[in-house]
């Protein structure tokens, strides 16, 4: 989803883009990655590749989540260094922050407390990605003119999302549930958890624009707004809402008239994850798509793809 949005944006800006499908390039194999980099004229890398999923997937496949994400980012970042590629943007996740972090969450709160257990393996891998970028900058930044950057987005939704029943994130999961309930005349929809936890959402098109903005901002400005041991920048909408409010919003957009039942036996995850986005706003970026409009567009695309498949 994120990679496709960045690809489309770079295409609009007439960049020469080099990509490969999984079947042609195994990012878990460092030799394959190095050979690919050596054979292609690459000067910038956007690392959007990752193994991702919701609460169920993180709980069910912890070994895969930590191993695959560590390997992907390690192979890409180290191979970039070995092959003389100077500019890298690593895209992480807001789950890197402590479960009981102060709100809104500033970049400097990283590693200040315990992680949420349901996605700890994924979060540890993403923290490692940030620290890889910082460490290569610290050790080789001056000698090799490296410029490795990181952004940490809040929850992303929109075009190209994953609608798999158990492995999807909350917005695609709710869209699919409410749509199915409407089409089959069900009287209720079950939602995991209490509905009281709060989440922040950003449309993937806005994230792509933020990634491009951060990748291309003057190095002096990037360094001025980060530090050698805290080199990442938060990206978000700066607003959050409860899962209950989100469910009601999606219910209304889809036109489902039944009841919402919250299953409190299912995990909630972190109570709140609102990012402090003052750094990137001060640098000159802010999101353009509000949540209601973004959800409407996402549902339109979901229906189109569902009918065409």
Give the pTM.
Answer: 0.94
Which residue is catalytic, options 46, 56, 122, 157? 122
180 is catalytic: no
Task: Give the C-alpha separation, 118 to 93, whole Å.
Answer: 14
Domains of the chain: 2-308 (3.40.50.720)
Q: Are 114 and 99 in contact (CB under 8 A)?
A: yes
For residues 12-51, one letter each, b for 16 or more C-beta atoms within 10 angstroms of the residue's C-beta and e for the rest, the string is: eeeeeeeeeeeeeebbeebebbbebbeeeebebbbbbbbb
Q: Tokens representing 81?
A: 């260094």
| pLDDT tens track, the chain, 309 positions | 999 999 999 999 999 999 998 899 999 999 999 999 999 999 999 999 998 877 778 889 999 999 999 999 999 999 999 999 999 999 999 999 999 999 999 999 999 999 999 889 999 999 999 999 999 999 999 999 999 999 999 999 999 988 876 667 899 999 999 999 999 999 999 998 999 999 999 999 999 999 999 999 999 999 999 999 999 999 999 999 999 999 999 999 999 999 999 999 988 878 899 999 999 999 999 999 999 999 999 999 999 987 554
């Amino acid at each position: 989803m994120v990679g496709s949005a960045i690809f489309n944006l770079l295409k609009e800006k007439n960049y020469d883009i080099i990509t490969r499908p999984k079947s042609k390039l195994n990012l878990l194999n460092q030799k394959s990655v190095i050979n690919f980099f050596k054979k292609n004229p690459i000067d910038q890398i956007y690392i959007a590749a990752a193994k991702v999923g919701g609460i169920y997937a993180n709980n069910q496949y912890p070994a895969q989540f930590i191993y695959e994400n560590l390997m992907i980012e390690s192979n890409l970042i180290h191979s970039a260094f070995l092959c003389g590629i100077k500019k890298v943007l690593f895209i992480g996740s807001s789950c890197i922050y402590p479960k009981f972090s102060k709100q809104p969450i500033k970049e400097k709160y990283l590693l200040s407390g315990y992680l949420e257990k349901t996605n700890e393996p994924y979060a540890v891998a993403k923290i490692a990605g940030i620290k890889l970028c910082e460490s290569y900058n610290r050790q080789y930044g001056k000698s090799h003119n490296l410029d490795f950057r990181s952004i940490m987005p809040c929850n992303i939704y929109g075009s190209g999302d994953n609608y798999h029943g158990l492995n999807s994130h909350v917005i695609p999961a709710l869209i699919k549930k409410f749509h199915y309930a409407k089409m089959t005349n069900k009287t209720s929809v079950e939602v995991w958890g209490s509905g009281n936890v709060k989440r922040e959402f950003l449309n993937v098109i806005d994230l792509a624009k933020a990634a491009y903005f951060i990748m291309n901002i003057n190095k002096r400005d990037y360094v001025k707004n980060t530090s050698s041991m805290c080199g990442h920048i938060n990206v978000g909408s700066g607003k959050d809402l409860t899962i209950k409010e989100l469910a009601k919003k999606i219910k209304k957009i889809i036109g489902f008239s039944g009841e919402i039942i919250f299953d409190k036996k299912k995990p909630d995850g972190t109570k709140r994850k609102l990012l402090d986005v003052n750094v990137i706003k001060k640098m000159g970026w802010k999101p353009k798509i509000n949540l209601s409009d973004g959800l409407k567009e996402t549902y339109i695309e979901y229906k189109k793809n569902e009918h065409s498949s």
